[in-house]
A and B are shown apart, each in its own frame.
Chain A
Amino acid sequence: MQIYQESRGELLRFLTARVGDRAEAEDLLHDLWLRIQSTDAGPIANGRSYLYRAAQNLVLDRARARQRRLVRETEWSGLGSDHAEPADPRADIEAEIAAREDAAALAAALAKLPDKAGQVFRLHKLDGLPHAEIAARLGISRSGVEKHIATAMTHLRRALDGGTT
């Protein structure tokens, strides 16, 4: 795929910066290539943004699997070896249960956000509105919307990640 070939160098640099490890970045780039190849039948000319977003998703998948493994090892350290394959549906269910428990903490933290940041965050996450539409609705710029979302995330991180991560 041409766009992949053209972007290969910058993607490797990006992934190396993103995960902090050249070998892992190369591994991820290979995964990305396989993923693009496996979508054979489709009429895809993947844009640069698509490649970057797909790369971001691969990094997130790995981080998620790592986190899950960490949680299991902590919780069931007595049970011996454990395989946390990302495609394991049981792992997904566990994640869903964890999300449910998380929801109460999140809803509480959400209620304590600064007014405007909380409003923008809810419009985006709960009502599913795109940034541009929030900007139009509230009469602010898109970068204003991004700033409010960033403020909300910073508050939520302080409120939620403090003890756990």
Chain B
Amino acid sequence: MTDAITEAAARWHAAQADDAMDWNGFTDWLEQSPAHQAAYDAVALLDDRIDRAIPAMRDLLPEDEPVAPRRHLRLVGWSAAAAVLIGAIGLGTWHGAQPGAADIALYRAPAGQTRAVALADGSRATLAPGATLRVSNGAQVALEGKGYFDIRHDPAHPFTVTAGAYQIRDIGTRFEVVSDAGMLRVAVAEGTVGVTSRTANGEIRVSAGRTLTAFAADQLAEVRTTPPAPVAAWRGGRFSYDNEPLGLVAADISRYAGAPVLIDGVLARRRFSGIIAPGSRAVMVRNLEQLTGLDATTEGDAIRLGNRTGG
């Protein structure tokens, strides 16, 4: 197989991120020769292989390598209130260094970028664009938004993630958490986690290959087999959903784009399935409009999704 054919296959593959993809042209190209089809297969499998290897690959690359230049601030000895403020405006990491005081660090991934965070004992988290993680004493973390966790299990120091009204307790595992607007999704890649909610009784166990989706904190409902899209596909820059609340989808786009996308309570609980290509907020919202039949209107710097007027 020549490099020229591989390169052509890779061009077709790369073009698919764009909604303007020429699918008919791609079909024509595939029909031209079995070698084209074989080359495309190889490229698609290689890309899949790369996506799967990326979390492990991050471990091998220098942490927060300034591939894309970004600012880091490390302030020592400020008050916790200052830490919260700095976290909120997204300037990076803060460490409380007062002797005996709780050790709190705040991490925030800026819009459009993921961020790797090293936790205690070799555990790691990857934050999706716009997500915030607050770490207290190395093992209690609070997440806002979407994050992927790779946790070394230590029975003496159980690890918990708090996400709004929910708590996720690990039993030595790798999992993805998405939380927003009172909703939660936990997808487990390896091991088992236990999920509790402030307003529901009992703990629900979620094991490898399963996904828990909660539409509201008082009803810890669905645990299903994880859909075929790989866990945490967003790390490869894709947004794919299978029967998930629209509220989480809107929150994903807001965080990714760094500008608000709003959706009302009732609609936020509606289910959505589909794939949204990453892009500007306007493009992603337009894509979502097409897939849901909802209408977007502009409100100041926010975009609000609502029912089609008159319908």
Q: Residues of A with Cβ closer than 8 Å to B?
A: 10, 13-14, 17-20, 39, 41-50, 52-54, 56-61, 63-64, 67, 86-89, 92-93, 95-96, 98-100, 102-104, 106-107, 110, 119, 122-133, 137, 142, 145-147, 149-151, 153-154, 156-158, 160-161, 165
Contact = CB atoms under 8 A, between A and B. Distances in A.
Contact of A96 (B68, B190, B207, B210): B190
Contact of A48 (B23, B42, B283): B23
Interface size class of B (residues with CB under 8 A): 35 or more
Main secondary structure of the interface of B (DSSP, over half): helix
A142 B45 CA distance: 23
B286 to A, nearest CB: 10
Contacts of A46: 274, 291
A30 to B, nearest CB: 16
Interface stretch (B10-18, B71-79, B153-161, B195-203): B10-18
Contacts of A59: 44
Interface stretch (B91-99, B136-144, B232-240): B232-240
A153 B292 CA distance: 34
26 contacts: A17-B31, A18-B27, A39-B243, A42-B270, A43-B294, A44-B291, A47-B291, A49-B19, A50-B274, A54-B275, A59-B44, A63-B45, A87-B209, A88-B209, A103-B56, A126-B61, A128-B114, A128-B234, A132-B280, A150-B8, A150-B11, A153-B7, A156-B50, A157-B10, A161-B46, A165-B42
Contacts of A165: 42, 45
Nearest to A100: B56
Interface of B: 3, 6-8, 10-11, 13-19, 21, 23-24, 26-27, 30-31, 34, 37, 40-61, 67-68, 112-114, 128-129, 174, 189-190, 207-210, 225, 228-229, 234-237, 240, 242-243, 246, 270-275, 277-280, 283, 287, 290-294
From A10, A39, A67, name the one whose CB has the most chain B CB atoms within 10 angstroms. Answer: A39
